[in-house]
Structure 1
Amino acid sequence: MVDFSFTEEQDYFRKMLKGFAKEELLPNYTKWDREGITPKHLWRKLGELGVNGLRIPVEYGGSGADCVTTGIAAEEIGRGDFNLTYAVMLNGLIGEIITNHADEHLKKEWLPEIASGNKILGIAITEPEAGTDAGGIRSTAVRDGDSYVLNGEKSGISVAVSADAFIVFAKTEPRKGNRGISAFIVPSDLPGVEGKGYEDMGNIPIGRGSVYLNEVKVPADHLIGLEDKGFSQVMNGFDLSRLLIGLQCAGAALQSLDETIEHVKNRRSFGKPLATYQGVSFPLVTHYTKLDMLKWQAYRGLWLRDQGMEHSKESASVKWLGPLYSQEAIHECLLLNGHYAYTKEMPLEQRLRDVIGLEIGDGTAQANQMVIAKHLIGKEYRSYEPQVPAKSTNGQNYEGGYQYGID
C-alpha cells in the first residue's frame, strides 16, 4: 500500500506552524535583513514550539520527531522567514550528529540548550581550499595531553558571528586523507576562536563568515565519536540537511506564488484581471507544478530516511533542484508584481537573494549531480568522485555509497 497522507499529529503541527509563520514571522522577515540582526529571541521561540529539537531525543529536551515531521517544519517556517529555517536545518543535522556520535556528557551539556534555542551551534567544515572536496581540509588538531590544539581557517560558515559553539572538523592524522579527520565541539568563547562576518548578498541574519582557529585548546573529551573517524561518521547527516534545504526553499517560493496569485487576481490591465492572461497564469502554473513535484520527492526522501533505507540519490536531486526551481519561481513572481517588487518594500527581492545562497551551500548542483550519476552509472563512475564511505542512520554501509561535503 502507498500512503501519501500525513498523520493527524503532523497535520496539527503543520497548521500550528503555518499560523505562527504567517502571524509572527512573515511581518518581520525583512526587518532582520535590513538591520543585520540574528533574531536570537525567535530561535528561543522556536525552541518553545519544539522546532529546534525535532531530531533530538526526548530525554535531552527534544521531541524525537521523525524526519518527515522535520521536513514539515522546514517548509512552513520557510514560508514565514527563510533564514529562521536554519533553526530546523542546522539543528536537525547537529542534533543527529551529537545524538548518534557524541559522549554522554556532551549530549547532556549541549542537546537541551540546542532544543531550547538558548544556544546556537554551527557546522565548520568548509575552508578556503576545501569546499565540495571537504576531505581536502587543512585545519589541524594535535593532541596535547588532555587537550587538542586546533589551528586553521573555516570559511563560508553559517552563524559564524552568532554561534555559541561549532562542530569543527580538523585533520588529526594528515596522512590518512578523509579517514584522518575528527570532529570536535568548540565553544566560540574559547581563546583563539574568532568569527568574522561577510557582507553577503543574502542570508544576512544568518551571519555567515569565516571562523579562525589560532592555537585553540579544546578539551579532549570534546571529541565527537572516534578520532580519525569524524568524516565518515557524520557525512550521512548531510542527506538530511539537503532534503530540508529543498523544502526550506520550496516554502519561500510557494509563499511567493500565493502572494502573487492574489496580486494578479486583483490587479487589472486593459479592463481584465492579470490572472486571465495566459502569459501570466501559465508561468505560475509551471512553477507551482515543479515545486509540488519537488516537495514530494523531498518527503519521499525523508520517509526513506525514517525507514533506514538508501536515500542519497533522492537527497541530491532535491538539493540540486530545490534552490534552482525556487529562485526561478521567486524571480517570476518578482516580475509579475511589477516595479514595486524590485524595491525593498516587498519581501520578494530578499527571498530571491536568500534562496540563491543555497544553490551553493551544502553541495553545488554539480556535486549533487555527481552523486546521482554514481547511483545511475555504478562503479564505473566511482573512480571520478571523492571516495568517502557513507553510513546509514543505523550505522550500516550504503551499497557503494559515497558522500560530499558542503560549500
Structure 2
Amino acid sequence: MRPTIFDSDDLDALRALARRFAADHLAPGCRSREAAGAFDKDLVRRMGSLGLIAPELPEQFGGLGAGSIYSGAIIEEIARADFNVGYVNVLASLNGQILANFANADIKGHWLPRLIAGEVMIAIALTEPRGGSDAANLGLRMERSGGHYVINGEKTSISVADQAAGTVVFARTGRPEDGARGVSAIFVPMDLPGISTTRFTDLGQHAIGRGSIFFDNVKVPADHLLGEEGRGFVQVMQGFDFSRSLIGLQCLGTARQSLDETWAYIGERKAFGKPLGAFQGITHQLADFDTRVEAARLLSFNALWLKDNGLPHVAEAAMAKWWPPLIAYETIHACLLIHGHAAYSTELPFEQRLRDVLGLQIGDGTAHVMKNIIARERAGRAAVAA
C-alpha cells in the first residue's frame, strides 16, 4: 500500500509483516478454503501468533494495545490475499472490543487471549428472521431464572455460525414495546446444551459461512451478561462503528489487489497490435476506479483516526460501511470485464472476489440503513424522525 498521512514507522512495519504473511501463506490456499467452505485453523493461529489479530486489545490479554488504525492496516493486507480471512480480523476486533468493555474478568481472562491468538472465533448474533435491518425489533427471549438466563428462539444470517466457539447474543429481556431499551446482550459459549446451527448455501463468502443459530431452553450463567440488562443493545452496538470502518478496508484491500493486477495486465495483453494500455477507454476507466478506491480508503482510515482520538465518528463509520463495499464491487467488476472470459471462469480470482464483496453490501448494515444514520447525525434525530 502507498503511504498515507495515517502511517508511522511502527504501522508500516506491522503492515509489511501482514503483507508478507498474506502473500506467503494466504494467497496460495485461497481457492482451497473457498472450496472447503471453512477457515484453515492452523493458518488463523499462525496469524494470531504474529500479532495480526485484534492488535488494539490490551497487552494484558495478548494484544498490542495499538490504535484502531493498526487493525485497519492489517485487514487491508490480509484481504488483498483472501477477502474471507479478513473477516476473521473484523469479527475478532468487534467482539474482542465488546468483551473487553463489558464482560466480567473471568470471561475476559479466558476468551480474549484465545481470540487474539487465533485459537477461537466469536460470532455476533443480532439478526432474526423477522428483524433484518430493524435490529431492535427482536423476538428472541431471554428470561432470568435463578443464576441463569434461559434463551429460546432463532438468530439468522449469522457469519461463522457453525465455526464459532462463542457468540455475543442480543435478546429481549423487556417488553416488545420497549424497543431497543428492552434488549440485552450476553456471551454464550456454543457448546452449551440446546444450541444447534444450520448453514446456508450462499453466492459467496464460502469460507466464512452464514447460517442460523437455534436456542432451545439454553441456560447461560447470569454473569455472562454484557453491559446492563435492558441496555445491551444501546451499549454494545457502539462497537459497530469500529467494525464498519474495518469492513470498508476489507473490501478495498480486495479491490486494490484487483486493480494492481489489472494495471499490470493491460501492459502485457495486446489487441490490434497494441498493449491494452494504449486504449484510453481502458486506462481512463481504471484511473477513475483507482481514484475512487484511494478516496474510499482515506474515508475509512479517517473514521478509525477519529475513533483513536476520541472524536465523534458515527457518521464517518456509516460512510465507510456503505460506500467502500459498493466501490469495491464496481472496481472488481470492471477488472473482471477487462480480463475477459478468463476472469468469468474460476481460472482467475475475480469472479470469487466479486461474489465475496457483494455480501457486504447487505451484511452488517445496508446502504439505506447507513444513509439513515448519516442523515440522523447531520440533521439531528428529530429532523429525520417519522
TM-score range, shorter chain: over 0.9
* Letter aligned with residue 228 of structure 2: L
User: Percent identical across equivalent pairs?
Assistant: 44
Indicate if the aligned counterparts of 1:334 and 1:342 stay in contact, CA closer than 8 A.
Answer: yes
Q: CA deviation at 1:91?
A: 0.7
Native 8 Å contact 1:143 1:149 kept in 2: yes
Greater shift after overlay, 94-103 or 369-378? 369-378
- Corresponding residue number in structure 1 for 2:327: 325
Give ranges in structure 2 of 5+ residues lacking alignment.
none
Asked if the contact 1:29/1:347 (under 8 Å) is kept, the reply is no
Which of 333, 358, 361 does residue 356 from structure 1 map onto?
A: 358
Are 2:129 and 2:155, in contact at CA under 8 Å, matched by a contact in 1?
yes
Shift of 1:344: 0.8
More divergent stretch after superposition (97-106 vs 51-60): 51-60
Matched, 1:209 2:238: no
After TM superposition, give the deviation of residue 223 of structure 1 in Å.
1.0
Alpha-carbon contact 2:97-2:239 (below 8 Å) kept? yes
Structure 1 partner of 2:7: 6
Residue in structure 1 matched with residue 281 of structure 2 by the alignment: 279
Q: Which residue of 1 aligns with 2:184?
A: 182
**Cα separation, partners in 2 of 1:191 and 1:5, compared to 1, 3 Å:** closer
CA contact (8 A) 1:38 1:207 kept: no
> 2:375·2:384 contact (CA, 8 Å) conserved in 1?
no
**Amino acid across the alignment from 1:37:** A
> What residue number does 1:340 align with?
342
Find the counterpart in structure 2 of residue 78 from structure 1.
Answer: 79
C-alpha distance in structure 2 between counterparts of 1:196 and 1:41, whole Å: 24
Unaligned runs of 5+ in 1: 385-407
* Structure-2 residue corresponding to 1:18: 19
1:32-181 equivalences under 5 Å are 32-175=33-176, 176-181=178-183
Tell me, in whole angstroms, the C-alpha distance in 2 between the residues paired with 1:188 and 1:215: 14
- Please report the TM-score for the alignment, with normalisation by the length of structure 1: 0.92
Aligned to 1:394: none
Who is 1:191 aligned against? Answer: 193
Letter in 2 for 1:351: R
Do 2:54 and 2:71's aligned partners in 1 also have CA atoms closer than 8 Å?
Answer: no
Q: What is the rounded CA distance, in whole Å, between the counterparts of 1:275 and 1:213 in structure 2?
A: 56
- Secondary structure (helix, strand or coil) at the match of 2:346 reads coil
CA contact (8 A) 1:89 1:244 kept: yes
Question: Which whole-Å CA distance do the structure 2 matches of 1:357 and 1:228 have between them?
Answer: 31
- The Cα shift of 1:47 comes to 0.7
- 2-side partners of 1:117 and 1:193: how far apart? 23
One-letter code aligned to 1:186: V
Q: How big is the shift at 1:17? A: 1.0
- 8 Å CA contact 1:74–1:244 kept in 2: the answer is yes
CA distance in 2 between counterparts of 1:48 and 1:198 reads: 31
Give the CA deviation at 1:378. Answer: 2.3
Task: Supply the AA of the counterpart residue of 2:183.
Answer: I
CA contact 1:139–1:150 (8 Å) conserved in 2: yes
One-letter amino acid of the structure 2 residue matched with residue 350 of structure 1: Q
Q: 1:259 offset after TM fit, Å?
A: 0.8
1:230-249 superposed Cα distances (whole Å, 9 cap, x missing partner): 11111111111110000000
Is the deviation greater in 51-60 or in 353-362?
A: 51-60
Structure 2 counterpart of 1:172, which letter? T
Counterpart Cα distance in 2 of 1:49 and 1:131: 36
AA partner of residue 364 (structure 1): T
Q: Aligned partners of 1:310 and 1:121: how far apart in 2?
A: 27
3-state SS, counterpart of residue 235 of structure 1: helix
Letter in 1 for 2:195: V
2:28 maps to a residue whose letter is P
Distance 1:379 1:370 in 2: 10
Q: Please, what TM-score do these two structures have when normalized by structure 2?
A: 0.97
Q: Is the 8 A contact 2:57 2:64 kept in 1?
A: yes
CA displacement at 1:347 relative to structure 2 = 0.8
> Where in structure 1 do 4 or more consecutive aligned residues deviate above 4 Å?
none
Shift of residue 382, structure 1, vs aligned partner = 3.8
Partner Cα distance (1:350, 1:8) in 2: 34
SS where residue 218 of structure 2 aligns?
strand
How far apart are residue 5 of structure 1 and its match?
4.2
Q: Is the 8 A contact 2:137 2:179 kept in 1?
A: yes
